[in-house]
Chains A and B, each alone.
Chain A
């Protein structure tokens, strides 16, 4: 299992899964505390019309135009959510609900009405992604990792996801202090001269970038799960944001690795013949981790809810 076959068939999807999970979990921590965790759900739905439009415009199923279309759709949705929230003076959740359902419905309509049936562009693909197919044909054992030519044969999703994760990590590290401050006490942050609106928008845009990159590589189920489950489980493990981030990265990694292995080998161990979807299993594992922490995590109690005045 750990030999050449592993390097070629399992290592790339494993890494892509881990990178995608962590890239979504990092901004998820802040979105969760800002009561905006559903934005991951929203983004993974609204990218559909963007992808379809990108296909209609270019006529090919290629990664970059589709990611561009998805990115534009995500940004349009983020702006639309903000506009509706401010003009209508309503809960962010309500604004998200309105925007993502209508944009997703629009995407489905577009998909149905346009001639996309001939290509591999369907809802199932969007949901589960195709983690298992992201293999490395040039990988002949661990030595290939040092072979430049072989490395060039790595699935492009791996490079994209690694770059996305690096970007998300740098964003979180550099803007750590303002993000924490404005998430805890927006009014106070403003009196320090922080542009909290801009900061909030930047956070959502970064989340959108992570979501679109992950969506392209692993499908929307992982995106939706990773924005919420690892941060929520991490919050139940600690009362300090610094440690919560650490726990969420650990849980995201654990979900990706465990989920991938269980999907590939679990059914065999149980005597079934076929493997199950890795994306589905990764999301399931993250949900199980959340369940365990919700039942036994050390920081489950809402200690001191503020008294109404």
Chain B
């Protein structure tokens, strides 16, 4: 496994744990037009933590994830994952895109979508064997969707679609999970199911980073926040960084009092 030769904090002795940052971003600038979507962003995400990326609409939250994954080409900046380049670590990274980013009328079944998460194992022409089906079915079971394997994906509700996307990410068997608004437009039961799965991942020592919208649930769901508004505003444990001062700085006058109450 990935043993560090010189561990800086002595108490972290679990064998097999990778203490290098699963995602390290330096000087990331992304531009879609003339105006930069991200400007010189630095971020070092903690291994084994659940981090929420928060910020106002158009702050570049999704762009940060996409650039970190190499989907969006940055103007400048450097991405490292577990001390290596992104392309060397793709097998350790799972991604849950925004649900609305795909056409759910695509002619395919739930099971086929989850099997997409096994692409790196299956390769170009590898046959889908019983063990692959077993993995896919167990991932569906973890999100409570095992009864839907044969459904066409267009027949699912929004929450069910989101669970299928999460199951596909689970099938990737990664160490780092990047989720883009996993709770957007889902029902309460799905939200509960998803957060349970994510917390279980954290228990296993995996790293979870999610773009998050609902400030009220941040302290319940996450242990760290990364606040962004085109540039980095703050980063740290919820107790230190999720404070009115930084939120005001990121959201400005747009922050509702109710949310401030929950935050403070």
Contact = CB atoms under 8 A, between A and B. Distances in A.
Given A188-B116, A191-B70, A306-B99, A177 B93 contact: no
Contacts of B184: 309
Interface string B9-45: 0000000000000000000000000000000000000
Contacts of B100: 306-309
Contact of A185 (B101, B107, B125): B101
A190 interface: yes
A302 B105 contact: yes
Given A184-B102, A309-B181, A244 B116 contact: no
Contacts of A194: 119
B104 A304 contact: yes
Contacts of B104: 304-306
B116 A181 contact: yes
User: What is the interface residue range for chain A against chain B?
Assistant: 20 to 34
A238 B185 CA distance: 28
Given A191-B93, A240-B108, A175 B154 contact: no
A303 interface: yes
A283 B99 CA distance: 38
Interface string B147-181: 00000111111100100000010000000000001
A118 B71 CA distance: 54
Contacts of B153: 304
B97 A187 contact: yes
Contacts of B152: 239-240, 303
Given A174-B124, A191-B71, 8 more contacts: A33-B106, A187-B66, A235-B107, A239-B109, A240-B112, A241-B106, A302-B105, A306-B99
Interface of B: 66, 69-71, 87, 90, 93, 95, 97-109, 112-113, 116, 119-120, 122, 124-125, 152-158, 161, 168, 181, 184-185
